[in-house]
Amino acid sequence: MKKTFIAVLALILMIATAACGGNKETGAKKGKVTLALLSHYAGSNEEKLKPYIDEWNKANPDIQVKLTPVEFEQLLPTIMSKQTAGQVADIVHVYALWGGQLIKNKVLADAPDDVVTDVKANYPDAAVRGASLNGKVFGYPTEVQTYGLFYNKKLLKEAGFDNPPATWDELLAMAEKINRKDGSGKTLVQGFGFQRSYAGIVDQPFMALMATAGGTLLSEDLTTAQANSDAAKKTLELYSKIYGNNGISDIGINPTKAFGTEQVAMTVGAGWWAGSLKTLMKENFANVGAAPLPSPDGTAQGSLAYTWAWGVNSKSKHQEEAWKFLKWFNTEAFKDGMTAEGSFLLDAFNSISTRKSDLESAPIQEKLKTDPIMKVFTDALDYAVHEQNPPTGSEIQNILYREIENMWAGKTTPEEAAENANRDIQAKLGE
C-alpha cells in the first residue's frame, strides 16, 4: 500500500513538473504582447514619434508598441470601423470632442484609479476637464491648445498702433484703420479676419471670444444650450461686424493663408499655429506677435482650450500593458527632466506639454523666457475654459458653424442666428 502511494505521488509530481514546464513556455509566449497604437501623427510627425516608441520597445521586449498612423480626417472613422470589425487598436489618440461619442459606443476603457489620481494632480484644470467625460478622467491629456490674438507688428505700426487691441471696440476701430484698398476697391491689407473652411476653425475662436464675455456654449452639466445667452449674442454681433452685409472685412480673404503673406494684420488662432507661421514666413516671422484675446470691456480674460488625450480601448485584450506604456510615455522623466510626451511635443510641434513636471523643466522654462508668443498661450491655460464634449459634440459644433456662416452670408441676423442655433443645439442635446 505504501509503495503504491509513493508511486502514485511520484507520478503526480512528474505530471505536475511537466505541466509547469509547459505552462512556463506557454506563459513566456503569452507574455510577449504587441500593442497597436492608432494616432493622427502621420508623415513627419510619425517620424518624430517613432524614436520614442523605439526606445520603449528596446527596453520592453515583452511589450512591443506598433504605431499605425492615419490622417486627422480619417482618425475617427478608422477608430469606429476597426471597432465594428473587431480589429481594435489597443491605444487610441483621440480629440476630446469625440469623447462622448467614443464613450457612447464603448470604445474607451475606464482609466485606472492611479491614472485618474495622477492626471488630476499634475495637469491644469482645463486639461483635466478636456480629458474627462461626466467628470470622469478617461486618459492622459496630450496636446492642450489655447486661443489668442495673432497680430502683425509691422502692419499695426504702419497704421499708427504700438499695441494690439484690448477691447472689442478697439479691435474694430484698429481693423478699419489698417484696412487698405487699391483704386479699384481690391483689398491690399485687411485689418482683421476670422479663419474659415470647417466647423472647428470657425467655432473654437467663437467660443474663445464668448468666454471673454463670460459665457459658454452649453451649461456646466451639458444639458442646456446657451447659444442665445447675452454672451453668445454679443459675440455673434461682433462676428457680424467683421463679415457680412455690414462687415468691415472682405470675407473672400482667408487669414489661414493671408496672415502668413502679411495681407491680414490680426486674427484669432491656437498656439500651435505659431510653428506653422514660422516655417511659412521665415525671416518675416519676426513681425508676428501674440496677445491675450480682447474682451468686451478690456479687463476680463478668456480663452478656449481644446484637448487631445491618450486612451485605452475597452475591447483591448492587453489593457494592463497599454496603461503601462502610457504611464511611461506621459509620466516618467525621459530627457532633461521632461517626459517622452513633453519632449515629443516640443520637438514635433514647438508645443508645450501641460504636465506639471514638463512645465517646470529647464528646457520649457528657458523656452518661455525667450518665446513671448509661446508664453501668451501657456499663460492662457490658467484662465481658459475647456471645450465642452457631450456625446453629440461634433454635431453641435456643425450647427453653430452653419448659423455663423448663414449670418455672414446675410441669410439671418445675429438674433436669428442665436435663436436658431440654440433651438437646434438643445434638440441635439436631447438625443
The DSSP call for residue 109 is P
Residue type, 267: T
Round to whole Å and give the CA distance between 334 and 260: 35
Quick one: pLDDT at residue 76? 93
Quick one: pLDDT at residue 102? 87
Quick one: pLDDT at residue 30? 55
* 3-class secondary structure, 163: coil
DSSP per residue, 268-329? EEETTHHHHHHHHHGGGGGGEEEEPPPBSSSS----EEEEEEEEEBTT-S-HHHHHHHHHHH
What is the block-wise mean pLDDT of the chain (431 residues), using blocks of 10 residues?
41 41 40 93 93 97 96 93 91 91 87 97 93 89 96 98 98 97 92 95 98 97 96 98 94 96 98 92 97 97 96 96 98 95 92 95 94 96 92 93 97 97 96 81
Cell of 148: 489668442
Quick one: pLDDT at residue 112? 97
Quick one: pLDDT at residue 4? 42
Quick one: pLDDT at residue 14? 43
Quick one: pLDDT at residue 5? 41
Residue 390 has phi, psi (to 5 degrees) of -70, 170
- Dihedral of alpha carbons 291, 301, 100, 33, sign: positive
How big is the CA angle at 305 (ends 299 and 307), to the nearest 5 degrees? 170
Quick one: pLDDT at residue 105? 86
